[in-house]
Chain A
Amino acid sequence: MNYEGVIEQSSVGLKELVESGEEIIGYIYPHVPLELFMAHGFTPSLVRALPGTSSGFEESLQTFACSYIRNLYSQRANGQLLPLAGLLFPGNTCDALQNLGDIWRVRFPDDRVFRLTYPVTRYSQDESTTKFLAEELRILSETIANTFNRPFLTESYDRAIELVQDFHASAQFLYSARVVNPKIIPYSEVVRLIRTFLTAPTISSVSNIKDTAARVRVTSEDLGLVDMIETVRLAITSGDYSGVKLPEDLETPRVVIAGGMVEPQAIATLINDIPDISDSAIVLDLLSFGFKTAFTEAPSKSSDPYLAMAQSVLTAPGEPTHEGLSYRMKAMKDLLSNLSIQGLMVCEQSFCDPDQFEAPSIERAASELGVKTVRVPLDPELSDRGRIETRIQTFLDTLE
């Protein structure tokens, strides 16, 4: 199935929900507590850049706006977005998304636009950041309740916690299983399941990823890999890799994908479309819509749901606003060296500050370990696809 087909398929669940009268609140930055929307009776849906959306932004955004926000704006201007009850923008994550929220309010005054402002947590050793975000979440919750006359229901919140916890547990298991044996399940399948959940986090989409994780677990048991997979999962979540001992006969090449709000499905499609190459070369990604979402801790059940949700959101690993550069580079180096990684593909979107600022540091950090790198300019439209595929193929050839 081609990339567009996969995206179309992952949207089917959402379309069905809309047609059945379910109300959707869209969000753009992946680290939002889905449980909050569910507690108010809404289905949260991640609104992402889509291929085939190349124009429509010109009236409101300059060409040097990052390709991601140009794409989002164009979708809205072209009427490509499904009907949303509201759309949540992040504040304080990057300048482009910050300003897009303001522009959106002016250009689409009938849209209900909300904003959740994040603290930059990286240097604080105290609870001020969690308290700040908890209050932001409480205010957002009150706004939603007042706007739609839908109160925060504890029962719905508790059910949402269980649903999201199931998703995280399954996604983490699948990611960890692929670190041990990338052929145990295709990367494209894992990220498709995650995409489907983030598009429509329903019982059905969680069942899909849970069932898949259960099947992979059975296979892993047959291969005697379950303990090793659990060790990897714990190592990734704790940052302590001392217990990790991977098999010596690992198939090569073993590649990690680094980047920010780059679509994992696009990477999988690009690699699978290269002749004689499969996505089993990808051991792990470090992307916002993949790894960073999967390895965020779910909120605990607590007497203060806003505090619990804030604590959960701020555990998202590897985000520039959450962790300083030196911390992120150390974490990445630990991961590369302990998971026997040979190559690193650094994806960056044009005019994306976080991607482009980080790429040179990532290259240097990988180089210190002898891990080869390639930088892949990747826009949502995959506008330079042929050249990108050649670049990736050449890179993978050097790892053989």
Chain B
Amino acid sequence: MTQERASEEKPYRRLETQALLQQIAFRHGLEAMEASENGSLAWVTSGFPVEIPIAMNLGVVYPEQAGAIIGAQKIGPAVSGYAEDLGYSQELCSYARVSIGSTEKPDEVPMGSLPTPQILLAGNNICGTVLKWYDAISEMTGAPVFLLDTPPIEKQQLPHNQEYVRHGVERLIEFIGSNFNRTLEEDRLREVAELSSRATKLWIRALEACKNKPSPLNCADRFLTMAPVVSSRGTEHCVEFYESLVAEVEERAKQGIGAIRDEKIRLLWDNIPPWHTLRFFNILASRGVVFPADTYTHAWTGNMVGTDTPSIIDEVVETYSKVYLNMGLDAKVDKMCQLIDDYDLDGFVMFSVRSCKRYSLGQLVSKEIVTERTGVPGVIIEGDMVDSRVYNAAQIETRVDALLEMLM
């Protein structure tokens, strides 16, 4: 791979909407601090039905997102080191490690340490690690943990699984209620769910605009602009952000303006990105490689409102159980094949994230199946999302080069 061009005309185009992200992030940070000071801040996992704590007037923050910020600042190894000093192995999830590390030494991590939580809300629909991670944070902060258990499903969610998760959601409402002495108003939940749904639908529109050639968004654009749908869904300002994003993206598509200047090869990205090296995508952009779709940002496309379920609680159950990471290898392969087909992609890159077992174990098998079913080649590169110590740029370059040689 050649190095990113230093000339004024970059091979990629910057989104104007990105400027709004800073405002949202700033606002989100202030609200979180205020909630913590008021004794009502929840830390939540990315796949958690956040509409419920928001409807019960809790502030929410996402340690995974904080992990991404720490990664992007390239301080992952240092912050992870604080957790490793406490005895946590370098082999554990790096989101968890930097979360523990920044909780241990918040003053050392001005951007990325989160305000003190009063409650920890974990959903294991994204992985089983969150269970132990939030336990560790609970031990450090004294905040109680609630785990919404969504047992993995195969093909379809059976009635006993639905009933069990439904019971979990009801217990969640009781748990928040008893800890904060408040109740959940169905109307308020409906309102938050509607806002969440509107933001998600707009997000889906932005993603689907990438079916156009050239693609109006590249991977790095989506990784950055996904932040509000993760951290602020269920709010008005989140909807407003995605209205702006969709307007810009659809205008780009209408005008035939691509995210990169000279689109030649269209690839699928699989897994969490290397937050410390997002320029990976820009370097490839200079060679005409764009990533119109990825499995990671498409994970936030679950839409609560408008399902065929009888109540809003049932919608929560269905939406958050059917996160595709909770549905096994077949669902993931189906998703990849569908994206390759829908977005007319030439190949795929699978990022094998050493510290994310749920997402990564199985990639060697799914790579073969996806190629067999779609006829497009793929490559697996290995590294980590936050811990740059295990990211070997030279090795990755060699592998990606081999894929591109097949496609050029």
Contacts and interface: CB of A to CB of B under 8 A. Distances in A.
B154 A115 contact: yes
A228 to B, nearest CB: 34
Given A64-B91, A128-B164, A356-B92, A93 B128 contact: yes
A122 B132 CA distance: 12
Interface string B133-173: 10110110000011101011010001011011001100100
B249 to A, nearest CB: 34
B160 A91 contact: no
Interface stretch (B81-89, B216-224, B278-286, B314-322): B81-89
Contacts of B129: 95, 353, 357
B136 A95 contact: no
Interface string A333-364: 00000000000000010110110111111011
B11 to A, nearest CB: 32
A52 interface: no
Given A103-B329, A118-B151, A324 B128 contact: no
A139 B153 CA distance: 14
A123 B147 contact: yes
A120 interface: yes
Interface residues of B, number: 51
A62 B365 contact: no
A326 B138 contact: yes
A119 B128 contact: no
Contacts of A358: 132
B135 A91 contact: no
Given A61-B364, A62-B361, A98-B128, A356 B89 contact: yes
B149 A363 contact: no
A106 interface: yes
Contacts of B96: 357
Nearest to B160: A135
Nearest to A329: B139
Contact of A62 (B139, B147, B328, B382): B382
A324 B135 contact: yes
A103 B365 contact: yes
Interface residues on A, range: 35 or more
Interface in A230-264: none
Interface string B353-377: 0110110111111000100000000
A351 B384 CA distance: 14
Contact of A94 (B128, B136, B363): B128
Given A120-B124, A120-B147, A99 B361 contact: yes
A28 B27 CA distance: 49
A95 B171 contact: no
A17 interface: no
A358 B391 CA distance: 26
A364 to B, nearest CB: 8
A118 B151 CA distance: 7
A64 B390 CA distance: 12
Contacts of B167: 126, 128
A85 interface: no
Contact of A92 (B128, B132, B329, B357): B128
Interface string B328-342: 111000000000000
A270 interface: no
Which of B127, B167, B365 has the most chain A CB atoms inside 10 A of its CB?
A: B365
Contact of A354 (B93, B132, B145): B132
Given A96-B357, A357-B132, A361-B136, A91 B151 contact: yes
B124 A92 contact: yes
B154 A119 contact: no
Contact of B357 (A64, A320, A325, A363): A64
A99 B132 contact: no
B358 A99 contact: yes
A102 B330 contact: yes
Interface in A308-339: 320-321, 324-326
A139 B159 CA distance: 12
Contacts of A155: none
A222 interface: no
Nearest to B136: A357
B88 A360 contact: yes
Contact of B152 (A91, A122, A351, A364): A91
A359 B87 contact: yes
B358 A98 contact: yes
A132 interface: yes
A103 B361 contact: yes
A320 B354 CA distance: 22
Contacts of A92: 124, 128, 149, 151-152
Given A102-B328, A120-B131, A325-B138, A353 B87 contact: no
A345 to B, nearest CB: 15
B352 interface: yes
A98 B86 contact: no
Contact of B360 (A62, A321, A325, A326): A62
A249 to B, nearest CB: 35
Contacts of A102: 328-330, 362, 365
Contacts of B163: 128, 131-132
A29 to B, nearest CB: 13
A7 to B, nearest CB: 26
Contacts of A105: 329
A117 interface: yes
Nearest to A354: B132
A96 B361 contact: yes
Contacts of A351: 91, 357
A59 to B, nearest CB: 7
A136 B158 CA distance: 10
A51 to B, nearest CB: 21
A91 B163 CA distance: 18
B328 A353 contact: no
A132 B160 contact: yes
B146 to A, nearest CB: 6
A129 B131 CA distance: 17
Contacts of B93: 353
Contacts of A59: 364
Contacts of A364: 139
9 contacts: A59-B364, A118-B151, A119-B164, A128-B168, A132-B164, A139-B158, A325-B135, A353-B129, A353-B132
Interface of B: 86-89, 91-93, 96, 124, 127-129, 131-133, 135-136, 138-139, 145-147, 149, 151-152, 154, 158, 160-161, 163-164, 167-168, 171, 175, 328-330, 352, 354-355, 357-358, 360-365, 369, 382
Given A92-B151, A106-B369, A119-B149, 16 more contacts: A60-B364, A61-B364, A62-B354, A91-B151, A95-B129, A95-B358, A98-B328, A99-B329, A99-B361, A102-B362, A103-B329, A120-B147, A351-B357, A356-B88, A357-B129, A363-B87
Interface of A: 59-62, 64-66, 91-96, 98-100, 102-103, 105-107, 115, 117-120, 122-124, 126, 128-129, 131-132, 135-136, 139, 320-321, 324-326, 348, 350-351, 353-354, 356-361, 363-364, 375
Which 4 A-B residue pairings sit nearest by Cβ, starting from the closest? A360-B87, A357-B132, A102-B329, A325-B135
